[in-house]
């Protein structure tokens, strides 16, 4: 009776084990010189390793020469330098080094592929390809030199301002200096008016949805006695209903666009 219970226990154990075992074919691994060229047949090995390159292969069809290359295994190497040796049949043509270990906060492991002789190329280094940058960026994108916005000559408290073609240091208040008539654009915040040689008109751009909230400041310090006219675009008006503002002498005037279906200009003359 005791032997019978033991047999039943072993039988149940083997049955339970087989339920979680996903092996459907058992056998050795063929070692080939070069890629496998044989048909496994009913009892041949369907897994092979090329002893020349170290590449693994799996048969897709037992009855034909149809092998799937599983690629190179990744071989771990120590240190942070690229390999300098020529791999033999015991080495992989694909390696990963140990850069940045153990916390990988300042660097990361590099993967190298052998391309011939003792030459390897890095597959995940920032400089393994071509990265084109200009003076607006600094760094090369590696762990120790990340890409960032270049200072471009800016000093403390300055900002980088677009000219439409490039970026340049600015104090954040673009201005236009004039001594004759002009139509200003939204690219400026202040208009500085020097000494003019005749009555002068400054055109203000259209107060539309895109310009809602745009603020202009006009500062006139010239020594002339001519008139200065501020003229909104088209048929637009100032909030008080006037179509023009005409000034003489030194002035400081603020002008702000308010758009709510129709654009009007608010002004304040100091």
> pLDDT tens-digit profile of 124-181?
886 545 567 778 888 876 666 778 888 888 888 888 888 778 888 888 888 999 999 9
Q: Mean of the per-residue pLDDT values for the chain?
A: 84
Tokens 């590449």 appear where? 55
Cα gap 75→54, rounded to integer Å: 11
Output the pLDDT for position 172. 83
pLDDT at 1: 52
Q: Tell me: cis bond preceding 116? Omega within 30 of 0 counts.
A: no
270 or 216: which carries more pLDDT confidence?
A: 216
Whether 214 shows a pLDDT value over 80: the answer reads yes
Mean pLDDT across 246-250: 92
Task: Please write the tens of the pLDDT for every residue from 74-93.
Answer: 889 998 888 999 988 778 88
By the 8 A CB rule, do 130 and 118 touch? no
> What is the distance between the alpha carbons of residues 86 and 93, in angstroms, rounded to a whole number?
9
User: For tokens 């916390």, what's the residue?
Assistant: 103
d(CA 111, CA 95): 6
Looking at the predicted structure, is the pLDDT value of residue 2 above 80? no
* Residues in Cβ contact with 134 at an 8 Å cutoff, skipping those fewer than 6 apart: none
């Amino acid at each position: 009776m005791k032997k019978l219970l033991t047999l039943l226990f072993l039988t149940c154990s083997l049955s339970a084990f087989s339920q979680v075992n996903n092996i459907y074919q058992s056998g050795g691994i063929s070692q080939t010189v070069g890629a496998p060229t044989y048909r496994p047949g009913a009892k041949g090995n369907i897994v092979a390793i090329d002893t020349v390159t170290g590449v693994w292969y799996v048969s897709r069809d037992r009855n034909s020469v149809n092998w799937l290359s599983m690629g190179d295994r990744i071989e771990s190497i120590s240190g942070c330098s690229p390999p300098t040796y020529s791999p033999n049949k015991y080495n992989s043509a694909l390696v990963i080094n140990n850069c940045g270990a153990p916390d990988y906060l300042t660097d990361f492991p590099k993967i190298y592929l052998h391309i011939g002789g003792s030459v390897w190329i890095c597959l995940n280094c920032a400089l393994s390809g071509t990265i084109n940058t200009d003076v607006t960026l600094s760094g090369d994108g590696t762990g120790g030199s990340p890409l960032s916005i270049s200072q471009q000559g800016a000093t403390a408290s300055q900002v980088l301002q677009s000219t439409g073609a490039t970026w340049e240091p600015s104090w954040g208040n673009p201005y236009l200096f004039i001594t004759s008539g002009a139509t200003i654009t939204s690219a400026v915040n202040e208009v500085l008016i020097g000494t003019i040689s005749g009555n002068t008109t400054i055109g203000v751009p259209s107060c539309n949805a895109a310009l809602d909230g745009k603020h202009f400041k006009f500062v006139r310090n010239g020594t002339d006695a001519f008139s200065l006219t501020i003229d909104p675009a088209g048929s637009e008006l100032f909030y008080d209903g006037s179509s023009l503002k005409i000034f003489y002498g030194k002035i400081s005037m603020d002008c702000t666009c308010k758009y709510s279906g129709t654009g009007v200009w608010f002004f304040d003359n100091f």
